[in-house]
Amino acid sequence: MRAILTDRNFTTYWLATLVSNAGTFMQGIGVPFILYRLTRSNTWVGASVFASLVPSLLVGPAAGIMTDRLSRRLVLLWANVIQAGSAVGMWVLAAVGELTPWRIVALLAIAGIGAGFQYSAAQSIVVLLVPREHLVSALRLNSLGFTGARALGPAAAGLVLDTWGPTTTFAVNALSFVAVIAALMTLRVGGVPPPPTGESFLGQFLSGVHYVWQRPAMRLIVITAFVTALLAQSVVQLAAGIAEEIYDVGPSALGLLVTVFGLGSISGILVLVVTGDRRRRSRVSFTGLVLYGSATVLCVVTTRYWVGLLAFFLMGSAHVLNGVTLNTTMQVHVDEEYRGRAVSMYLMALLGGMPIGALLSGRVGDLVGLRPTIAAGGTLLLVYCAYLAWRTDRLAIFDEIPSSHSPSSGSDRG
């Protein structure tokens, strides 16, 4: 990784996306905070997550095909321009006191469209920025940067919310897009898009689905990503309700709760950086899954705030260990011809699981309480871990070396 960071082209891109993604995740904490304050409803909080992620899910097929067929730099550039426009709108409306729940949802939906095109291209562009011998480390570092932003954003949001309020989180997010747009305008990207195949849009998408689904490792990555997003990743989005309903604490304590999640994520990043390739991907991912399920249950088994802080720290660590490993494994196994579509399927699993989980958890939480709702999600994730231990030897397939002739992990040109 030290060698990669000496590459000015890659480092410029990596730092710019780190700043921009951190701003986006900062806003992701500010939105639930202000929505819960406006409505006192976990259902509205879940709806905001649904509105921001479902558009990304719906444009996923198109995003994957465009990533494979067009300039990834230009796809990223315009995707960020769309998100910047939404962020500025959120900032201005908050500053003049005109933010309403419906306006928030509408702006999040617009940003979600841009994000849907960004995700696939951002994960696929790395292969064009570094030499082949540095690819695995670059992919891991790119995943760490994205996940690190997911840690830094909430951590910073906790401090900003307590000191300046949610409007500042919207302002920081809007300004953060300047960095990534400027970087993309100057980025040097190798490779050219492949020539048109003559295959229809639907045909290209279905061939990508077939490619992923015929490879057990990739299929398991997609399923595991969806299950984790559905049962556990939406919990941090409900932190405002958890802080008030379970721990009976105020905004300052809520800020510390999401900050601790960020610190836990940073600890997971440090573990991955230090251990490097000395730990098998299967063991790292499986450990993250078990830790995620256990911490999700832990955060609601008691009303003691310090237990909640510990649980959110562990959830942050688990999120990194599992998420980065799944992403890196997918990238290592995929062939370049299908990279955009394969990555988009992985991201669609995440973007499908999180909004469904957040909306269901918010609605059920309003009906029966957040404690049994979240505990049920964590328990089901642990049941899934038991299934993986029984049927897949704790994800051992992730450690196989890809073969260009094997349908389990390699190329499929026909």
CATH, residue 98: 1.20.1250.20
For residue 194, the model assigns a pLDDT of 64
User: Does any domain span residue 40?
Assistant: yes
Cβ 320 vs Cβ 405: under 8 Å:
no
Q: Is 195 helix (H, G, I), strand (E, B) or coil?
A: coil
Whether 409 is covered by a domain: the verdict is no
Give 156-198 pLDDT, tens digit per residue. 777 787 778 888 888 999 999 998 999 999 888 866 566 556 6
For residue 119, give the nearest of 321, 357, 281, 342 by alpha carbon: 342
DSSP string computed for 3-30: TGGG-HHHHHHHHHHHHHHHHHHHHHHH
Compute the distance between CA of residue 381 and CA of residue 301 in angstroms, rounded to an integer.
16
Instruction: Answer whether residue 404 is part of any domain.
Output: no
What is the reported pTM? 0.76
Residue 407, pLDDT score: 38
Q: pLDDT value at position 165?
A: 81
CA angle 380, 381, 384 (to 5 degrees): 90
Task: With beta carbons less than 8 A apart as the criterion, state whether 86 and 108 touch.
Answer: yes
DSSP per-residue letters across 66-129: HHHHS-HHHHHHHHHHHHHHHHHHHHHHHHTT---HHHHHHHHHHHHHHHHHHHHHHHHGGGGT
In which domain, by residue range, is 270 found? 4-189+197-399
Query: Quick check: is 46 in a domain?
Result: yes
3-state SS, residue 131: coil
Q: What is the pLDDT of residue 287?
A: 95
**What is the count of structural domains for the chain?**
1
**Residue 88 located in a structural domain:** yes
- 410 assigned to some structural domain: no
413 lies in some domain: no
Task: Compute and round to an integer the Cα radius of gyration of the chain.
Answer: 20
* Whether 101 contacts 35, CB under 8 Å: yes
Q: Which residues contact 21 (CB under 8 A, 6 or more apart)?
A: 145, 146, 149, 150, 153
- Pick out the chain residues at pLDDT < 70: 1-2, 147-148, 150-151, 190-198, 251-252, 276-277, 402-414
Distance CA 126, CA 133 (A): 13
Q: Is residue 407 part of a domain?
A: no
